[in-house]
Structure 1
Amino acid sequence: MIRYIRWCAWFCALLLAALLVNVARVQVWEAAAYGANPANKRPAVQRYAEPRGDILVDGRPVTGSRDSGQLLRYERTYANGPLYAPVTGFSSQTYGTSLLERAEDAILSGTDPGLSAFPLWYELARGRPSGGNAETTVRAAAQRAAYTGLAGRRGAAVALEPDTGRILALVSSPSYDPAALSGTGGSVKAAWARLNADPARPMLNRALRETYPPGSTFKIVTAAAALDAGVVTDVDAPTQTPDPYPLPGTSTLLPNAATGCQDASMAEAVQWSCNTVMAKIGVRVGLRAMVDAARRFGFNEGGLRVPAWVSRSNFDTDMSPDQLALSSIGQFNTTATPLQMAMVAAAVANGGELASPHLVDRTTQDDGDQVRRGQQRSLGRAMNPATALRLQEMMVQVVENGTGRNAAIPGAVVGGKTGTAQHGVGNAGTPYAWFIGWAKAEDAPRPGVAVAVVVEDAEAHRGDISGNGAAAPIARAVMEAALEAR
């Protein structure tokens, strides 16, 4: 009898060991697979069991959380959703996250180890601290000025602090209300389908993700390349450029929209936006030097994050001389995001140094204790300081006596460059209106804001579209608001 009991005990011990091995297999080796299984609702339930941390503008939350009373308890809410959607993105229980909601998700959802002095405790307890906050660099007045100026027209506006890279305004138009995507159910799915089917593409962040031909605003890059390379040593000297200008190696004549461009100097070409002069200068600079100059400003560089990712701006690296001529005035295959062109203006305003743009000033715990400070770093020198000073003088002339007079601000020094970018097959598309520039309060030691504005106004008459008419007034309003907020 004892022998049978002993065998039974060994058999029960074997079953217990098998059970423990299986538990270990499930809990350790296959835990990740079970956790990632779409049928497992526990991670989603846990994720939305507590309120999400907030995104702040000027120290005030522009996001919040609402107790829905559902299984996924807390839904995201947004204050002035369409105004700040290009900054916040959306946080949806159905479709995930985007933009800052995605980039700072660990902080906002409470899973970042920096939110607790004892992160291992929360790991063992399978809990998490309260969600932290992300304090943005955005200034509410500048953001609202850009949003109001675009007035629902397709386009974008970006404002930067030149010496730090802080993004003061980031607007994409038309916009949408991210609150429509926050929860679950048929209304959220209907809103998602409607927004994605909208031909105006309101969910596209045009400031960061759309690239446009920059048109004449790119002439600032060409002028910087010419001065740095020594191709132009006297910006007031005649350039012996015919009007129209024969594109090298072709019978095609490049015209000017402006008058008085024949034999104009580079300073006059920037002031009055002469295509012929700047195209010829670009050819004289040469392909390699133009590519290097564009790269120093940020073109052809992928991987930029603010912390949301930014589309790559393009300047072709293999072109014939006629293509180089067109690329040097922002046409052919040259494309740029509005953020990239704001970086061009900021580099000029900052004495040639290009600061890395960033959108988050710092992240904090829910009680305000700092977790991380946003990094201020340099992307390198885009041009020599003497070149930047000369370009500042030329850009001031654009606003005071040239094509950009609508950007002038009483009591401030403003420099700028207008652009009207052709696009489409045979340039048949309605042109894009551009303005890039910077502004400095009279009593300030250096410029306090740099901007880029692009307007896609499909309803405007083609002949009425210009950077000075459509984009410069918006830029002026944004720069005024930014200077007043300093």
Structure 2
Amino acid sequence: MTRNIRHAGIFSLLLLVALIVNAARVQLVRAPEYDANPANRRPDIARYQQPRGDILVGGEPVTGSRDTGEHLRFERTYREGPMYAPVTGFASQEYGTSLLEHVEDGVLSGSDPLLATLPLWNDVTRARNPGGDVVTTIDAAAQRAAYEGLGGRKGAVAAVEPATGRILALVSTPSYDPGELSGNGTVVGRTWDELNAHPDKPMLNRAVRRTYPPGSTFKVVTAAAALDAGVVRDLDARTDSPDPYTLPGTRTRLTNASQGCAGASLREAFEWSCNTVFAKLGVDVGVTDMAATARAFGFNDAELRIPFAVARSTFDTSVDRAQLALSSIGQYNTRATPLQMAMVAAAVANGGQVRTPYLVERTTRAGGSTVAAAGSRPVREAMRPATAARLKRMMTDVVADGTGSKAAIPGAVVGGKTGTAQHGVGNSGMPYAWFVSWAQGERDLEPRVAVAVVVEDAAADRADITGGGLAAPIARAVMAAVLTE
């Protein structure tokens, strides 16, 4: 009898050990598999059981959370969602996250270990931190001026602070309301399908995720390359530039929209945007130096993040001389995001130095203590300081006496460059209207803002579409908004 009891005890002990081993296997070894199983709703229930942290502009939240009383309890809300969508992105229970909502999800959702007061405390207690906040660099007045200036036309605006790289405005239109994607009902599904099928692509962030031919705004880069390479030494010396200019090795003749470009000096050619002068300058500089200067400004950089990824702006390095001529006036395969062209203007304003742009100033815990701050940003020299000083003078001439007069701000020093970029097969598409600029208030020691504006579908006759007429007033409004604060 005693032996039977002993055998039963040993058998029961083996069953207990097997149970413990299996429990450990399920909880430790197979836990990731069960967590990822679509049938497991516990991670989602836990994720949406508390309010999400906020994204702040000027110290005020542009996001919020709404208590639905359902299993997935809190849904994301947005204040002036369409205006800030290119910054915030969306946070959807059905479709995940994008832009800042995505890259800062750990802080906003409370899952980032850095939010815990004590290291590993949450791993032991299985508690969840309150969502933290993300403080952006966006200037609310500049953002509104850009959004209202575009007025629903397809286009984008990017504005940066030249001395630091802080992004002051990031607007893309037409836009959408991220709040309409926050939940998980059938209405959300229909909205998602409609947005993705819309021909104007409202969820495309044109400011950082779309590249355009920059047209004549790229002449800032070409002028910098010509001055740094010593191809041009005197801004007022006549150039050996015929009008029209026959592209090397071809019978194709390049012409100008302005008169008097034959032999024009660099200053005159820049002020009146002479294609023939800058096309020949690009050929004279050569592809090696042109590519090096473009790269110094930020072209061909596939690693730029602000903190979400930015589309690569391109300057083709495998071109013949005719293609180089077109590339040097912002055509052929030359393409840029509005943020990249704002960086070009900022480099001129900042004495030839380019600061890496950034969108997040700092992240904080729910109580306000800092989790992480932006810190100093990398800087590189896009051109010599003397070259930047000469370009600043030429850009101010464009606004004072040339094609950019609609960007002028009383009492401020404003520099700019217009652009009208052809595109489509045989240049059949409606031209893009560009304007890049910077501005310095009368009491400022240095320029405070650099802006790039592109308008895709200008409501005007084709012949009347110009950066100076359509994009410059938008840039002016953004710059004025920054300078008046």
Q: TM-score, normalised by structure 1?
A: 0.99
Matches within 5 A, 1:245-324: 245-324=245-324
Post-superposition shift, 1:460? 2.5
Q: Secondary structure at the match of 1:72?
A: coil
Matches within 5 A, 1:36-55: 36-55=36-55
Question: What per-residue deviation string (whole Å, max 9, x for no partner) do you get for residues 391-438 of structure 1?
Answer: 000000000001100000001000000000000000010000000010
Q: Report the Cα distance in structure 1 between the residues aligned to 2:29 and 2:252, rounded to whole angstroms.
A: 69
Matches within 5 A, 1:77-96: 77-96=77-96
1:156 matched residue in structure 2 = 156
Matches within 5 A, 1:101-120: 101-120=101-120
Q: Secondary structure at the match of 2:305?
A: coil
Q: Report the Cα distance in structure 2 between the residues aligned to 1:269 and 1:194, rounded to whole angstroms.
A: 46
Q: Secondary structure at the match of 1:481?
A: helix
Alignment check: 8 A CA contact 2:458 2:465 kept: no
- Which sits farther off after the overlay, 104-113 or 322-331? 104-113
Question: What per-residue deviation string (whole Å, max 9, x for no partner) do you get for residues 137-183 of structure 1?
Answer: 11111000000000000000011000000010000000110000000
Q: Report the Cα distance in structure 2 between the residues aligned to 1:460 and 1:396, rounded to whole angstroms.
A: 27
Q: Which amino acid aligns with 1:345?
A: A
Post-superposition shift, 1:442? 1.5
Q: Report the Cα distance in structure 1 between the residues aligned to 2:82 and 2:27, rounded to whole angstroms.
A: 44
Post-superposition shift, 1:38? 1.2
Q: Report the Cα distance in structure 1 between the residues aligned to 2:310 and 2:75, rounded to whole angstroms.
A: 28
Q: Report the Cα distance in structure 1 between the residues aligned to 2:320 and 2:438, rounded to whole angstroms.
A: 33
Matches within 5 A, 1:128-277: 128-277=128-277
Alignment identity in percent?
A: 65
Q: Secondary structure at the match of 1:207?
A: helix
Q: Which amino acid aligns with 1:203?
A: M
Post-superposition shift, 1:285? 0.5
Q: Which amino acid aligns with 2:367?
A: D
Q: Report the Cα distance in structure 2 between the residues aligned to 1:376 and 1:473, rounded to whole angstroms.
A: 33
Post-superposition shift, 1:369? 0.9
Q: Report the Cα distance in structure 2 between the residues aligned to 1:76 and 1:259, rounded to whole angstroms.
A: 56
Post-superposition shift, 1:374? 1.4
1:331 aligns with 2:331: yes
Q: Secondary structure at the match of 1:450?
A: strand
Q: Which amino acid aligns with 1:159?
A: A
Q: Report the Cα distance in structure 1 between the residues aligned to 2:127 and 2:162, rounded to whole angstroms.
A: 42
Q: Which amino acid aligns with 2:312?
A: R
Question: What per-residue deviation string (whole Å, max 9, x for no partner) do you get for residues 18-53 of structure 1?
Answer: 111111111111111111111111111100000000
Q: Which amino acid aligns with 2:447?
A: P
Q: Secondary structure at the match of 2:207?
A: coil
Q: Report the Cα distance in structure 1 between the residues aligned to 2:393 and 2:434, rounded to whole angstroms.
A: 20
Q: Secondary structure at the match of 2:436?
A: strand
Q: Secondary structure at the match of 1:85?
A: helix
Q: Report the Cα distance in structure 1 between the residues aligned to 2:309 and 2:96, rounded to whole angstroms.
A: 16
Q: Report the Cα distance in structure 2 between the residues aligned to 1:21 and 1:50, rounded to whole angstroms.
A: 34
Alignment check: 8 A CA contact 1:165 1:376 kept: no
Q: Report the Cα distance in structure 2 between the residues aligned to 1:199 and 1:375, rounded to whole angstroms.
A: 40
Question: What per-residue deviation string (whole Å, max 9, x for no partner) do you get for residues 250-277 of structure 1?
Answer: 1110000111100001111110000000
Q: Report the Cα distance in structure 1 between the residues aligned to 2:404 and 2:457, rounded to whole angstroms.
A: 19
Segments of 4+ moved more than 2 angstroms: none
1:466 matched residue in structure 2 = 466
Q: Secondary structure at the match of 2:70?
A: coil
Post-superposition shift, 1:124? 1.4
Alignment check: 8 A CA contact 2:135 2:360 kept: yes
2:344 matched residue in structure 1 = 344
Q: Secondary structure at the match of 1:208?
A: helix
What's the Cα RMSD here?
0.8
1:366 matched residue in structure 2 = 366
Q: Report the Cα distance in structure 2 between the residues aligned to 1:140 and 1:334, rounded to whole angstroms.
A: 32
1:23 matched residue in structure 2 = 23
Post-superposition shift, 1:122? 1.0
1:33 aligns with 2:33: yes
1:70 aligns with 2:61: no
Q: Report the Cα distance in structure 2 between the residues aligned to 1:400 and 1:455, rounded to whole angstroms.
A: 23
Q: Report the Cα distance in structure 1 between the residues aligned to 2:71 and 2:28, rounded to whole angstroms.
A: 27
Q: Report the Cα distance in structure 2 between the residues aligned to 1:303 and 1:190, rounded to whole angstroms.
A: 35
Q: TM-score, normalised by structure 2?
A: 0.99
Aligned residues: 485
Matches within 5 A, 1:354-393: 354-393=354-393
Alignment check: 8 A CA contact 1:356 1:376 kept: no
Question: What per-residue deviation string (whole Å, max 9, x for no partner) do you get for residues 423-458 of structure 1?
Answer: 000001000000001000122111000000000125
1:439 aligns with 2:439: yes
Q: Report the Cα distance in structure 2 between the residues aligned to 1:421 and 1:50, rounded to whole angstroms.
A: 49
Post-superposition shift, 1:229? 1.0
Q: Which amino acid aligns with 1:312?
A: R
Q: Report the Cα distance in structure 2 between the residues aligned to 1:80 and 1:443, rounded to whole angstroms.
A: 33
Post-superposition shift, 1:459? 3.9
Q: Secondary structure at the match of 1:362?
A: strand
Q: Which amino acid aligns with 2:186?
A: G
Post-superposition shift, 1:125? 1.3
Q: Report the Cα distance in structure 2 between the residues aligned to 1:39 and 1:471, rounded to whole angstroms.
A: 51
Structure 2 portions without partners, runs of 5+: none
Post-superposition shift, 1:315? 0.5
Alignment check: 8 A CA contact 2:458 2:470 kept: no
Q: Which amino acid aligns with 2:156?
A: A
Q: Report the Cα distance in structure 1 between the residues aligned to 2:211 and 2:257, rounded to whole angstroms.
A: 24
- Which sits farther off after the overlay, 37-46 or 210-219? 37-46
Structure 1 portions without partners, runs of 5+: none
Q: Which amino acid aligns with 1:249?
A: G
Q: Report the Cα distance in structure 1 between the residues aligned to 2:290 and 2:19, rounded to whole angstroms.
A: 70
Alignment check: 8 A CA contact 1:342 1:451 kept: yes
- Which sits farther off after the overlay, 363-372 or 411-420? 363-372
Q: Secondary structure at the match of 1:170?
A: strand
Q: Secondary structure at the match of 2:439?
A: strand
Alignment check: 8 A CA contact 2:433 2:458 kept: no
- Which sits farther off after the overlay, 369-378 or 169-178? 369-378
